[in-house]
Chains A and B, each alone.
Chain A
Amino acid sequence: DAGVIQSPRHEVTEMGQEVTLRCKPISGHDYLFWYRQTMMRGLELLIYFNNNVPIDDSGMPEDRFSAKMPNASFSTLKIQPSEPRDSAVYFCASSFRQGRTGNTIYFGEGSWLTVV
């Protein structure tokens, strides 16, 4: 069974350009998460969706960041305009809520973004 699929795996872009990161969650999962990993701040939750609806976007750093989930099998994280401080690894993750037993969150391999 395929895991969480992210694209692109690596992207180098110039400051001011728009960046779109893509994610395909595991089929049947009803939660989708976007995390950012940097050396300074570690793993931070940016936003998460339940059944395609954004539930908590309090971790989105600023208005330059936006995320959408138009259907159960696709999500995007967009940065416009990008800045050098956005350079990080962006992880998409998904899970299926299993009641009181909690959920295991499965991570993609990440999108490595460098803004120059």
Chain B
Amino acid sequence: AQSVTQPDIHITVSEGASLELRCNYSYGATPYLFWYVQSPGQGLQLLLKYFSGDTLVQGIKGFEAEFKRSQSSFNLRKPSVHWSDAAEYFCAVVGNSGYALNFGKGTSLLVTP
């Protein structure tokens, strides 16, 4: 079954520093991959998605992600983190149904001054 793994449960970065959140997927063919962000007490907001084509995907809020088939990865990056980026980040892949998403366990991002 299609699944994603987020190896880091918590990550702490200083404001202004660069960020990379890891996501590894398990799927034989080209997966449909997503990154969502969840602020405390809120729902999930889509940051970006990858279906095909250019392996570097640009999203909202200055985020980008790169699909690397050779590494089965879809890591999320941001060159300079802002305090407002502190949230929970979820990687997801379209599941066997072809419609619903299977989510990773999430990575909690803490931003320090």
Chain A residues in the interface with B (C-beta under 8 A) = 4, 31, 33, 42-43, 45, 48, 50, 55-56, 91, 93, 95, 97, 100-110
Contacts of B99 in A (CB 8 A): 31, 48, 50, 55, 95, 97, 103
For residues 36 through 86 of chain B, which have their beta carbon under 8 Å from a beta carbon of chain A? 36, 42-46, 49, 51
Instruction: Find chain A residues with CB under 8 A from B44 CB.
Output: 91, 93, 107
Interchain CB contact under 8 A, A55 and B97: yes
From DSSP, what is the main secondary structure of chain A's interface residues?
strand
B46 CB contacts on chain A under 8 angstroms: 104-106
B95 touches A45 (CB 8 A): yes
CB within 8 A of A48: which of B43, B49, B100, B102?
Answer: B100
Category for how many chain B residues contact A: 20 to 34
Residues of B within 8 A of A103 (CB): 99
CB <8 Å contact, B97 and A101: no
Would you call B43 and A109 a contact (CB within 8 A)? yes
A91, B43: Cβ atoms closer than 8 Å: yes
B106 lies within 8 A of A105 (CB): no
How far is the CB of A65 from the nearest CB of chain B, in Å? 16
Query: Please, how many angstroms separate the alpha-carbon atoms of A100 and B51 in the complex?
Result: 9
Interface centre among A33, A43, A104 (most CB of B within 10 A): A43
Q: A91-B43, A104-B49 are in contact. Are A45 and B94 (CB under 8 A)?
A: no
For residue A110, give the distance in angstroms from its CB to the closest CB of chain B.
6
- B103 interface residue, CB < 8 Å from A? yes
| Shortest Cβ gap from B74 to chain A (Å) | 14
Interface string of B1-15 (1 = CB under 8 A from A): 000000000000000
Docked pose: A31 CA to B94 CA in angstroms: 14
B32 touches A (CB below 8 Å):
yes
> Are A33 and B100 touching (Cβ within 8 A)?
yes
Check if B100 sits within 8 Å of A110, measured CB to CB. Answer: no
